[in-house]
A and B are shown apart, each in its own frame.
Chain A
Amino acid sequence: MSAVTLHDVDELRDLYRELILDHARSPRHFGKLDGATHTAEGINPLCGDKLRLYMRLDDDNIEDASFEGSGCAISVASASLLTDMIIGLPVPQALEFFATVTARLTGRQAGSDDATPPELDKIRALDGVREFPSRVKCATLAWHALNSAIHGESAPVSTE
């Protein structure tokens, strides 16, 4: 009657790409970070995503980062990719990444592909969320927590 077509599965695989599923199943840098100097919580009340991001900053450099919490595949994979990308970065560059990634995932970035630096290549795996408006908040949650942690805001950020 309404068999699910290959096209449907393809579109869904565009959202749930192998890289996303891999990071969701085996998140990198998962757990509390000893000696963290900066931390922030991100909450997405709609689906119950709740993540805490930890960073150890030294002289404006992100020496180490981790996260813990629970959430959907998109939010966990995005947080995992984020920690992979920001470790070793100077803070101003991490803030630039925050701006680029949130603009890219919300579709606000003009000429999106050109403006995304090669270090952020893996974030392209999350591009599929643009077709799923209700999931953009999941993908950007950890990035908002990054911004909040750097600015030392104590209240949890919400993407609601």
Chain B
Amino acid sequence: MTQLQVSNVPLDTECRPDFPALHQDVNAHPLVYLDNAASAQQPSTVIDTVAHYQRHDHANVHRGVHTLSYRATDAYEGARDKIQSFINAGSRSEIVLTSGTTESINLVAQSYCRPRLAPGDKILISHLEHHSNIVPWQLVCEQTGAELIVAPINDKGELIIDAFDKLLTDDVCLIAIAHVSNALGTVLPVKDIIAKAKSRGIAVLIDGAQGVPHMQIDVQDLDCDFYAFSGHKMFGPTGVGVLFGREALLDAMPPYQGGGDMILEVSFDGTTYNDLPYKFEAGTPNISGVVGFGAAADYLQSVGMARIAQHERQLLDYMMQKLGEIDGIRLIGTAAEKASVQSFLVDDIHPHDLGTILDHQGVAIRTGHHCAMPVMDFFGVPGTARASLALYNNADDVDRLVDAISNARRIFT
């Protein structure tokens, strides 16, 4: 009964009060925050959890025998458990805490790929990747003589599956692919890709930075080898992220960085490394950030990812429809399967001019190349304006966006 009542309340109505930053005026207008793909706002529970940790429980983790060190360790390791549950990983040893998606991907490039790669080997990515899922592979290819190959996309921003399949040859060491494109919103068929890769014994890393805030992630169901994501895209703090890695693979990989906490015993004759996941967590971590990250995972689980996905899907349809009705607009990224994001251009107004005019009306969007320059090159544009939705956005936000764009057209025409 209670469940039924709760589900009748629109998600944004229920969730907006949880996010203090949304309740402010910007340039004398109530803020409309549509830059969630860059960084999402934090609910009070995250802010309060971090503050409580810092006020009462802070000490270094895994070290002290005193009470605060225990509390800090419990809070930090408790967050790991929450994140494990959030993505349904089989073991807490598979949850490596990093500084973000970028570090997670670099870790795999250097610790998994680098020792395995030889000239002639290949890393396979797609044309719609974020720079953080391109440059780490370019680096490791330069270091090893391996080759980076890129699967093409079509003009809707979808991966061309036939072409991708042809690139799946036995000399591919790893496929690294986004779950959701940050610039276009395309949801990639990662489960199919993983299944095909498995049948050929190829490892798969999913860049899940734009996946986790919008849909239920189950790494066991996906059957991926690595899944990387960040805290701040899912309503947690910046500077923290996760590398999920299959335990057998992580176990066989050398450490990424050396330092404290990742060792069992150090002498000048040699060092034995700590167990998973600590082998990959050198140095004092971002403890308060991780604690907040855990609170964000709890928050999302309490709201329910299925509900979030449904709310956002409806709102994205509405946004695409309303934007599509604007004269002179060009929607960029029109894949059949999408989440959260719409990129667009209006007349010949440069995206940066549009961004300034919208900001002046209290509407925050992202403008530019979205750290996906190859995607911009593909569509022949220097950049786009991008509106990206989160669970707290609603139809009023979309209407304000559309009105603000109309005003921009009035100034420019």
The verdict on A58 contacting chain B, using a C-beta distance below 8 Å, is no
Interface string of A36-55 (1 = CB under 8 A from B): 00000000001111100000
Contact indicator A46/B357 (Cβ below 8 Å)? no
A-B pair count, CB < 8 Å, reads: 66
Binds B, one of A5-13, A96-104, A143-151: A5-13
A11 to B412, CA, bound (A): 14
Taking CB atoms and an 8 Å cut-off, the chain A residues in 2-26 that contact chain B are: 2, 4, 8-9, 11-13, 15-16, 21
Binds B, one of A87-95, A107-115, A117-125, A131-139: A131-139
Contact indicator B352/A21 (Cβ below 8 Å)? no
A73 and B30 contact, Cβ closer than 8 Å, known pairs A16-B411, A48-B382? no
Set of chain B residues within 8 Å of A2, measured between Cβ atoms: 29-30, 361-362, 400
User: Shortest distance in angstroms between A158's beta carbon and chain B's nearest beta carbon?
Assistant: 15
The verdict on A1 contacting chain B, using a C-beta distance below 8 Å, is yes
The verdict on A33 contacting chain B, using a C-beta distance below 8 Å, is no
A40 to B357, CA, bound (A): 30
- CB-nearest residue of chain A to B367: A47
The verdict on B214 contacting chain A, using a C-beta distance below 8 Å, is no
Interface string of A59-85 (1 = CB under 8 A from B): 000000000001111100000000000
Contact indicator A48/B353 (Cβ below 8 Å)? no
Contact indicator B396/A16 (Cβ below 8 Å)? no
Set of chain B residues within 8 Å of A132, measured between Cβ atoms: 356
User: Shortest distance in angstroms between B77's beta carbon and chain A's nearest beta carbon?
Assistant: 40
Contact indicator A8/B400 (Cβ below 8 Å)? no
* B interface bracket (residues with beta carbon within 8 Å of A): 20 to 34
A135 to B360, CA, bound (A): 13
Contact indicator A73/B350 (Cβ below 8 Å)? yes
Binds A, one of B133-141, B222-230, B402-410: B402-410
Contact indicator A135/B356 (Cβ below 8 Å)? yes
Interface string of B337-370 (1 = CB under 8 A from A): 0000000000001111101110011100001110
Contact indicator A4/B367 (Cβ below 8 Å)? no
Contact indicator B412/A16 (Cβ below 8 Å)? yes
Contact indicator A9/B353 (Cβ below 8 Å)? no
Set of chain A residues within 8 Å of B368, measured between Cβ atoms: 46-48
User: Shortest distance in angstroms between A102's beta carbon and chain B's nearest beta carbon?
Assistant: 20
Contact indicator A71/B350 (Cβ below 8 Å)? yes
Taking CB atoms and an 8 Å cut-off, the chain B residues in 7-41 that contact chain A are: 27-30
Interface string of B198-211 (1 = CB under 8 A from A): 00000000000000
Contact indicator B353/A73 (Cβ below 8 Å)? yes
A70 to B367, CA, bound (A): 15
A72 and B400 contact, Cβ closer than 8 Å, known pairs A8-B360, A16-B411? no
A74 to B27, CA, bound (A): 20
- CB-nearest residue of chain A to B30: A2
A4 to B177, CA, bound (A): 42
Set of chain A residues within 8 Å of B369, measured between Cβ atoms: 48
Set of chain A residues within 8 Å of B404, measured between Cβ atoms: 4
Contact indicator B383/A11 (Cβ below 8 Å)? no
Set of chain B residues within 8 Å of A70, measured between Cβ atoms: 382
Query: A48, A134, A138 — which one has the most chain B CB atoms within 10 A of its CB?
Result: A48
A47 and B351 contact, Cβ closer than 8 Å, known pairs A2-B362, A4-B403? yes
Query: B29, B351, B352, B410 — which one has the most chain A CB atoms within 10 A of its CB?
Result: B352
Set of chain A residues within 8 Å of B351, measured between Cβ atoms: 47, 72
* In-complex Cβ contact of B360 among A11, A71, A72, A73 (8 A): A11
Interface string of B90-130 (1 = CB under 8 A from A): 00000000000000000000000000000000000000000
11 interchain pairs (CB within 8 A)? Answer: A1-B400, A8-B360, A9-B407, A9-B411, A46-B368, A47-B368, A49-B352, A70-B382, A72-B352, A73-B353, A74-B353
> Closest 10 A-B residue pairs measured CB to CB?
A47-B352, A72-B350, A72-B352, A48-B382, A2-B29, A48-B383, A73-B353, A72-B353, A4-B407, A70-B382
13 A-B pairs besides A48-B382, A132-B356 with CB distance below 8 A are: A1-B30, A1-B400, A2-B361, A4-B404, A4-B407, A13-B411, A47-B350, A47-B351, A47-B352, A48-B369, A49-B352, A73-B412, A74-B353
